[in-house]
Structure 1
Amino acid sequence: MPAASTTLRTLAVSVITLLTVTGCQALDDAGRAMGRADIVNELAARLDRALELTYSAEYQLPGGRTASITQSQDPARSAYEWPGGKLTVTAEATTRCDTASGRTVCTIEAPPAPNSKPSVVLFAAAEREGQVTPPMVMGLLTAAALDPGATITQSDTTVAGHLATCVDVRQTAGSFATCVTGEGALGSFTGQVDGQPAELALSRYREQVDGAAFDLPPGAGVVDRRQAGS
């Protein structure tokens, strides 16, 4: 089992054990009554399952901008694209592309360590760029479950044609709302990332991927640092 996946499951189990002792807080009437531990466990399981899937997800951002997450299992590779940037992780390389003043430059570095999951490496790198990722949302939910002052309202909806579970979290540490589809894809998020407002909503989900999603952007300049790092 991947290390990040194991960590998520262990964290969820720890939360469940704690809440078995302290009891579950009732939720607002606007949502179905559901224990904090139930929410964490359900979303952790979906997130864990999604790391093993092949899928492509497109997201709508404020101002008409878009982003996408693409991951494949055979071969194992992942890509995250947002306005002005792109990250691609494959068995051959980790590539970061930045666009400034109309010019795109891609820096190619050594691939992740053997046996590392591209999706795990990708999400960790994307978070460092201030992007919303499924593991980041899971971390926020887990923190909320451990906050006795937090109010969590759960509801069910449809996002981009897919059934999803949504939670609205109100707490002094920072309120947010998010949805996760039944497949385990991040359906939506509204909140803050590193103190900055962040918002996205799933606009399209497919269980197939286009190989071009892992290619360098057309006309991009290339800086290959793999030899320097070897």
Structure 2
Amino acid sequence: MNYRPSILDDIAAALEPYGMVPRGGFVFDDKNQAPQITEGARPQSVILAGHFGSSIWPHFVQWREDHPSAQDPLDTWSREVLTAVAAKLGATAVFPSDKPYLPFQQWAMRAEGLCASPLGLLIHPEYGLWQAFRGALLFDRALDLPARGAQRSPCVDCQDRPCLSACPVNAFSVNGYDVARCRGHLASGEGDACLNGGCLARRGCPVGREHAYGEAQMRFHMDAFAKS
């Protein structure tokens, strides 16, 4: 028996207090495509959870004030929130930081029909690069979910690709992302514009600029990346 059609409404209501939303989902075509959660048990459906813009930021900041010594604070907060939500909904929560790593980007592309940008980040037609997936909820039954077709990537009509030219050290190319070059720039003392205001390449994308993270959130993410 499928879950009742309002399952997405239930998930949305459970996530809303944390600034998160359900980001689409699907039923696994083949049972073997699903991750094995416990020995001999695999889920049938997945719903991704994430956010658009800075919607999670005030909720995370409030939590962090009560947990100032938390390691990997954003991942820890996400795990705490989504584990509790999963328990309420009879699901299992999994996360991008789990090992062995799960194919979150592939799941996201299928769930919401998103495409990869030249930076490798998935791009949303409205929110651009200012959105993220914090985890996923796995259900042991086939959910009745609306079909989601592929969305047209805004990168298709972008000829100049300002996201690539905005990077001061050309860390992004057709060969991929040179993480070492990027981190070296941040550590060199010449990367303050990225450290303080957020990745210049990401900020160079014109799509969804009105949804860009605020200064404090930008700095948090860049600090975390530089120290990882």
Q: Would the TM-score normalized by the shorter structure come out above 0.5?
A: no
Which interval holds the TM-score relative to the shorter structure? under 0.3
Structure with the higher strand share, 1 or 2 = 1
Structure holding more helix per residue? 2
Please, what TM-score do these two structures have when normalized by structure 1?
A: 0.23
